[in-house]
Amino acid sequence: MAKGFEIPGLGDLMEQASAMQERLARTQSEVGERTVEATVGGGMVTARMNGRLELLSISIDPKVISPGDREMLQDLVAAAVNQAVRQAQGMMAEEMKKITGGLRIPGLG
């Protein structure tokens, strides 16, 4: 009777892949709990966001709130949120790079 085809080291490779998958999931969860803060306009608007890209808060300096500056305030809020998103994505990318050793894995950024 012929033996089945076996690839040497495949079991070890599968174990390593499983361990990496567990570390990735744990890291994603941990980073999701961290927060980043982005401030724009010389401190006029600050956005806080967590690693899951959820906006937690927006702080607006009262000096910026005036009917004539509505468009500027809208621009500052958008800029603060976008900067916070970039910071949160960068934080996640750095943590993933630590685990994967820089290896690009589809779906992980």
Mean pLDDT value across the chain: 84
Residue 1 lies in a domain: no
CATH number of the CATH domain containing 93: 3.30.1310.10
Identify the pLDDT of residue 1: 47
Q: Can you tell me the distance from the alpha carbon of 94 to that of 108, in angstroms, rounded to the nearest whole number?
A: 11
Encode pLDDT of 12-50 as tens digits.
Answer: 878 877 887 888 888 888 888 889 999 999 999 999 999
Identify the pLDDT of residue 108: 54
Residue 31 lies in a domain: no
Residue 6 lies in a domain: no
Residue 17 lies in a domain: no
Domain count, the chain: 1
Residue 23 lies in a domain: no
Identify the pLDDT of residue 24: 81
> Which of 88 and 98 is assigned the larger pLDDT?
88
Q: Which residue segment(s) compose the domain that 84 sits in?
A: 36-103
Residue 80 lies in a domain: yes
The side-by-side arrangement of strands in the sheet containing 55-60 is 35-40, 45-50, 55-60
